[in-house]
Structure 1
Amino acid sequence: MSKRSQGVPLSFLMLDPSRGTGPLHRRLYERLREAILSGTLAPRSRLPSTRTLSRELGLSRGTVEEAFAQLDAEGLLERRVGSGSTVALPEHSRAPRSTRVRGGASSARGAGLSRRGRRMASDVLPPEARDVRPFTPCLPALELFPAKAWARAVARQARALVPERMLSGEPEGFRPLREAIAAHLGPARGVRCDWRQVLVFSSTQQALDLTARLLLDEGDGVWLEEPGYLGARVAFDAAGARLHPVPVDAQGLQVDTGRARAPRARLVYVTPSHQYPLGVTMSLPRRLALLEHARASGMWVLEDDYDSEFRYATRPVAAMQGMDAAGRVLYAGTFNKVMFPSLRLAFLVVPDSLVDAFASARASTEGHAPVLTQAAMADFMEAGHYVAHLRQMRQVYAERRDALLDAWRREGHPALRLGEAEAGMHVTAFLSGRRDAQPRMEERRLGARRLSPLYLGRAREQGWVLGFSGASPAGLRGAVRELSRLLE
């Protein structure tokens, strides 16, 4: 350590695994964060390496790396290859890089916040992509977007603008868009719904947040896929739910395990058509078992169908919502991954029994999507451009996936093993051994997301989620070579 940190005792970081709640990496992160914000660890103090700290604290190196990575994402640490980790300067620590932190870093543990507020302020999602990188997960091929057709749709709706459309509009969403979504989902995804069941949001995260607030009370149990989508964990944790990680295997969510661990859980979040991040498809017996448990126990099922229209070996697998006879499934989808991220349009299909409640709650929440954008999207869909774009992207992404797999066979590092790649916009790479390549990954701007933070429990796989949809075949080949070099 540098002279500035030689006198700083790190004994306060010692954790007793048998005491306290929450994952060890989260508890270590919170202690380090509090020490930085309180000044116990002064700006520019150099911290021990993750290897040294893991040895001194009796923790795995992966646990320490998780904590350091979260602090780095919030701007509280500065990590440089060859220089180690240092506490950021005050101006950095007061303004974490993630725009999702509310109220600034110093307010996250403020005495004036409610318990729910403290959870919301401490649960930080990784920042969304601000530029195009070869391995960024779920990034569309932006250079191939039909911009002229979209511009014509926007122009038509702008010319047709009347005073009524200049008002806020229906909180549930613009009716022609809701009708277009319902009409598309039937033949494309096997979803059974009336347009009145469709609500429009700016993002799936916004839909998750409203669902959590409407359907969960403090302490209610929620099954989460293990590993799974971090945004779902954040939404349900902020609602005060008790989170139960349920393992995912080659057939998807292990329903029997969830039923044994939390039989009275109030809700389950699941990505059955293309599990995030592992890429597996939930088998029919598992789907039927989950629906039966939901019917018998009164549990709600939130099905996130984020990218399942992109399937390459077979036709897209029908949504589970279409099999639901008991009205227990809420179905979420997004346009932001098909069109472009800044579009900010997503939707939620709710059972008949929840339509009135969700409509009333939507009226009392902010963040309605602009009516002009919704009208242009409805126009774009009704003119057939959306389906045509989907068809083209399915072919383009299949070519890019093949380019990634071919490059991997030729130049992929033997320490990495690829998971399922039959659908979607990403593939998971599992890492054997302990290779701390993440700082260099960020330095080279490859864009891959770390796998281990997507686990809620202690047993974690190391590796990365590698997107392939947003980069050209040549760019993917170069990124594979670069990743292999980083692991040498």
Structure 2
Amino acid sequence: MKTANRALSGVLLTLLEQNSGQPGALSLRVYRAIRSAILDATLQVGDRLPSTRTLAADLAISRSTAEAAYAQLEDEGYLRRGVGSGSFVSAGPPRRKDRGQRQLPGHLAFSKRGAQIAETGSCIDARAARAFSAGMPALESFPVNTWQKLTARHARQDAAAWMMYGDPQGLPALREAIAQYLSLSRGVDCDAGQVIILTSSQQALGLVAMMMLDGGDPVWMEDPGYRGAQAAFAGAGAKIVPVPVDAEGMRVDAALRMQPRARLAYVTPSHQYPLGMSLSLPRRLQLLAWARQAGAWIVEDDYDSEFHYDSRPLSAIHGLDRHERVLYVGTFSKVMFPGLRIAYLVVPGSMAPAFVTARTQADGHTSPFLQAVLADFMQEGHFMAHVRRMRELYRARRDIFMEEVERHLGGMLEPQPAQGGLQAACLLADQRLSDKRLAGMAADAGIELPLLSRLYLGEEKKNGFVMGYSALTPAQIREGAKTLARAWQTTRYTGRG
């Protein structure tokens, strides 16, 4: 009999994350993950599974959840269990008929880049708003009636204009509206010819990786930082250089010591993801000087710059750039609604045609109809009015969130300054505690806690959570904090993870 290797827990954890949006209890998701591992032959007949105690610790779930999953697998014949002897796989995947052609193992079927992309993983967004999923806008406060009127207007107009293929660079009216907005609100010096309309910021990052990186090129990334950017650049074969951050943002001096010849630097300067600080002006100038001297590029991801609550945010790095070394990424997913699927990339004018050509190899164009509706929404003043309303709403919810965390979880969590954005990073007051274990306890109580530790790339990690508040009503925030406090009550007093 064989023993399942320790990598099994990592495989199951990945499967659990991929299925996080599926309905059902946590025990059902664990059952499905183990069954999938059996059916795809990751686990084979005779393999011994970890004990329910070990599995619960590795996956940060309760032992009762692991026990329920094992019991269902045993009932269906996938496992056999014996007192004192352990749990073993008793049934494998169904046999396929031999058609005379040998199937290559999956990892040999991909190119090197394809295998790298599969190994790097992806960034999966939350599918529903609940305490305390991160990055979700308050959809109930979106001006749906105004949007529907604009949609109806365009539906009545020339249908052929939006039923045909669209401009791969984007609707000129929308590009003009975005360029004007960026100039007035973010200090970005650009015109409509530099704006490329895309379906997501992730697509923008993938396009940058395709056009600007070769295999092995070093890329500076904030540590901790956005996993979607890591996936895009690592998937292109780049060498990720995790650069620490402090109260002033990315430590450019440390980056220069670590890898001065980097090809590209990825930053979230207005509101660092996930810790929340802004990149200071001296650091911005230092970053621009490095890019100019090294012939390198800066990717500025301005993902939620509309939402700053306590002071006016610094203008974008792009506005300080006099040598065209900055590629600027923005999205409407947070400020409008995720289902809109419209984002944009601002590039130097001379590079725009090449980027548009590359874009046509991905998906051709973004929906002309939705672009036309969004262009009117911006040009008629609805967009800025919506931003102002949401800024006030999110500021109030941020304040309530901070108060409730202090009231109910003050002994466990230390919220970091949240001057803007849709979520706040909360460190565990006792870094000896396992955030994975605590997140598992929270999940059993119906609370979602995205792990901060998973956003670190280097050796040094901090345990905590990235907790969203923007999509939650005050009542939901208060109830979520109380529920979480009850779920952690034992850990609070034992002081052990």
Q: TM-score, normalised by structure 1?
A: 0.83
Corresponding residue number in structure 2 for 1:469: 470
Partner deviation per Cα, 1:36-79 (whole Å, 9 max, x = no partner):
643445599642468x589xxxxxx8xxx4xx47xx9xxxxx98
| Change in CA separation of 1:25 and 1:45 when aligned onto 2, cut-off 3 Å | closer
Corresponding residue number in structure 2 for 1:4: none
1:254 partnered with 2:257: no
| Counterpart AA for 1:460 | K
Corresponding residue number in structure 2 for 1:83: 67
| Counterpart AA for 1:8 | K
Distance in 2 between residues matched to 1:43 and 1:371, nearest whole Å: 55
| Change in CA separation of 1:134 and 1:410 when aligned onto 2, cut-off 3 Å | same
- Contact 2:175–2:195 at 8 Å: present in 1 too? yes
| Counterpart AA for 1:131 | A
**Which runs of 5 or more residues in structure 1 are unaligned?**
1-6, 15-23, 55-60, 73-77, 95-105
Aligned alpha-carbon RMSD (Å): 3.2
Corresponding residue number in structure 2 for 1:188: 185
| Counterpart AA for 2:440 | P
| Counterpart AA for 2:433 | R
| Counterpart AA for 2:488 | L
- Contact 1:8–1:40 at 8 Å: present in 2 too? no
Corresponding residue number in structure 1 for 2:156: 159
Residues paired across the two proteins, number: 440
Corresponding residue number in structure 2 for 1:21: none
Aligned counterpart in structure 1 of residue 284 of structure 2, from 270, 274, 287: 287
Judge which range, 465-474 or 160-169, deviates more. Answer: 160-169
In the TM superposition, residue 439 of structure 1 has moved relative to its aligned partner by 2.0
| Counterpart AA for 1:148 | N
Distance in 2 between residues matched to 1:391 and 1:453, nearest whole Å: 33
In the TM superposition, residue 194 of structure 1 has moved relative to its aligned partner by 0.5
Moved over 3 A (4+): 32-46, 78-82, 84-90, 106-109
In the TM superposition, residue 109 of structure 1 has moved relative to its aligned partner by 4.4
- Contact 1:312–1:394 at 8 Å: present in 2 too? yes
Q: Secondary structure at the match of 1:301?
A: strand
1:439 partnered with 2:440: yes
Corresponding residue number in structure 2 for 1:236: 233
Q: Secondary structure at the match of 2:292?
A: helix
Distance in 2 between residues matched to 1:273 and 1:470, nearest whole Å: 21
Over the matched positions of the two proteins, sequence identity in percent amounts to: 42
- Contact 2:291–2:325 at 8 Å: present in 1 too? yes
In the TM superposition, residue 458 of structure 1 has moved relative to its aligned partner by 2.1
| Counterpart AA for 1:38 | A
Q: Secondary structure at the match of 1:217?
A: coil
| Change in CA separation of 1:272 and 1:25 when aligned onto 2, cut-off 3 Å | farther
In the TM superposition, residue 108 of structure 1 has moved relative to its aligned partner by 9.3
| Counterpart AA for 1:136 | S
Distance in 2 between residues matched to 1:125 and 1:85, nearest whole Å: 26
In the TM superposition, residue 233 of structure 1 has moved relative to its aligned partner by 0.5
| Counterpart AA for 1:361 | A
| Counterpart AA for 1:399 | A
Distance in 2 between residues matched to 1:266 and 1:308, nearest whole Å: 25
Distance in 2 between residues matched to 1:38 and 1:79, nearest whole Å: 25
Corresponding residue number in structure 2 for 1:384: 381
Distance in 1 between residues matched to 2:52 and 2:252, nearest whole Å: 40
- Contact 2:439–2:448 at 8 Å: present in 1 too? no
- Contact 1:119–1:237 at 8 Å: present in 2 too? yes
In the TM superposition, residue 29 of structure 1 has moved relative to its aligned partner by 7.8
| Change in CA separation of 1:401 and 1:365 when aligned onto 2, cut-off 3 Å | same
Q: Secondary structure at the match of 1:38?
A: coil
Corresponding residue number in structure 2 for 1:101: none
| Change in CA separation of 1:25 and 1:396 when aligned onto 2, cut-off 3 Å | same
| Change in CA separation of 1:303 and 1:43 when aligned onto 2, cut-off 3 Å | farther
In the TM superposition, residue 35 of structure 1 has moved relative to its aligned partner by 8.0
Corresponding residue number in structure 2 for 1:415: 412
Q: How does 1:11-160 map to 2 (within 5 A)?
A: 13=6, 37-40=40-43, 46-48=49-51, 65=58, 68=59, 81=65, 83=67, 109-160=106-157
Aligned counterpart in structure 2 of residue 222 of structure 1, from 197, 219, 229: 219
In the TM superposition, residue 155 of structure 1 has moved relative to its aligned partner by 1.0
In the TM superposition, residue 112 of structure 1 has moved relative to its aligned partner by 1.2
| Change in CA separation of 1:107 and 1:280 when aligned onto 2, cut-off 3 Å | farther
Partner deviation per Cα, 1:156-198 (whole Å, 9 max, x = no partner):
1111234243211110111100000001111111111011100
Distance in 1 between residues matched to 2:151 and 2:47, nearest whole Å: 50
| Counterpart AA for 1:410 | R
Q: TM-score, normalised by structure 2?
A: 0.81
Corresponding residue number in structure 1 for 2:99: none
Aligned counterpart in structure 2 of residue 319 of structure 1, from 295, 316, 323: 316
| Change in CA separation of 1:45 and 1:181 when aligned onto 2, cut-off 3 Å | farther
Q: Secondary structure at the match of 2:299?
A: strand
In the TM superposition, residue 441 of structure 1 has moved relative to its aligned partner by 2.5
Q: Secondary structure at the match of 1:110?
A: helix
Q: How does 1:319-338 map to 2 (within 5 A)?
A: 319-338=316-335
- Contact 1:413–1:487 at 8 Å: present in 2 too? no
Partner deviation per Cα, 1:389-442 (whole Å, 9 max, x = no partner):
000000000000010111122112412111121111110011222241222323
| Counterpart AA for 1:434 | L
Q: Secondary structure at the match of 1:449?
A: coil
Distance in 1 between residues matched to 2:172 and 2:294, nearest whole Å: 34
| Counterpart AA for 2:309 | Y
Distance in 2 between residues matched to 1:220 and 1:171, nearest whole Å: 28
| Change in CA separation of 1:288 and 1:341 when aligned onto 2, cut-off 3 Å | same
